[in-house]
Amino acid sequence: MSPDEILLLKILRALREVRLEAILVGNAGCALQGVPVMTQDIDFFVRDTKRNREKISQFARRLNLMILKPEETLSETIRAENEEMVVDFVFRLGPNQTFERVRAKAKRIKINNLYAVVASLEDILKAKKAANRPKDQAVLKLIEDTIKVKSEIEGK
Amino acid sequence: MPTMSKLEEKVLRKVLKYEMRLKKKFPEISEEDLHLIVRNLIRPKSWPRRFLLRRLKSGGYVP
């Protein structure tokens, strides 16, 4: 395993320990499905519930991560980080992208002995188009190209 | 000079084969991107995945 896979595995284990159901999105989710991108942070989509916000705090404690701006209890993103990693939890994706809908189309990608639930490239693309930040715009074409090539290789 | 394993050679030949076919079908995709996409999609599971960037004190980024 690469150092990146070891780090992701550590995160997946901690999520499992606190029983937080989370879908990997963002560039890390893209990279695991073949898009040639790199990232500094690992983004997860979670249901916005009080219990999940508590579980995120437990997750952060397990990995010795600091939650910045914890007072913003109604914010749409929680960032937990330390020197080693930056993990973002988002409660909203694009329009009509409920947790259940995204999970229904998500892929299970094996990382050593655990599976990461990863949003489909189509859902990540849709979320990035909705966010429309410069960093999202920069990877749209790569995601679209990967979807086309993947479809061709897999004979769809 | 390190030598390439038989598996590496086999995979990279397969990447090249796909690229030759797909570049005609998708001329709008640059050859560099096409190579990386195909390589990522058909890589053996045993090949390590690198996707995280780390920021150096100098301000630069490295995988």
Q: Sorting pLDDT into bands at 50, 70 and 90, what band is A76? A: confident
**Structure ipTM:** 0.88
CB neighbourhood size of B61 (10 A): 11
Q: Which of B26, B52, B55 sits opposite A149 (nearest CB)?
A: B26
Cross-chain Cβ contact A145/B52 below 8 Å: no
Q: Are A43 and A86 a contacting pair, CB within 8 Å? A: no
Summarize pLDDT for A96-121 with one digit per residue, the tens: 899 999 999 999 999 999 999 999 99
pTM for this structure?
0.91
pLDDT at residue number B58: 76
- CB-based contact, B33 to chain A, within 8 Å: yes
Structural domains in chain A plus CATH codes: 3-153 (3.30.460.40)
Residue A71, pLDDT > 80, answer: no
- CB-based contact, A86 to chain B, within 8 Å: no
Q: What letter represents residue B51's amino acid?
A: F
- CB-based contact, A113 to chain B, within 8 Å: no
Residue A73, pLDDT > 90, answer: no
- Average pLDDT (A134-154) is 95
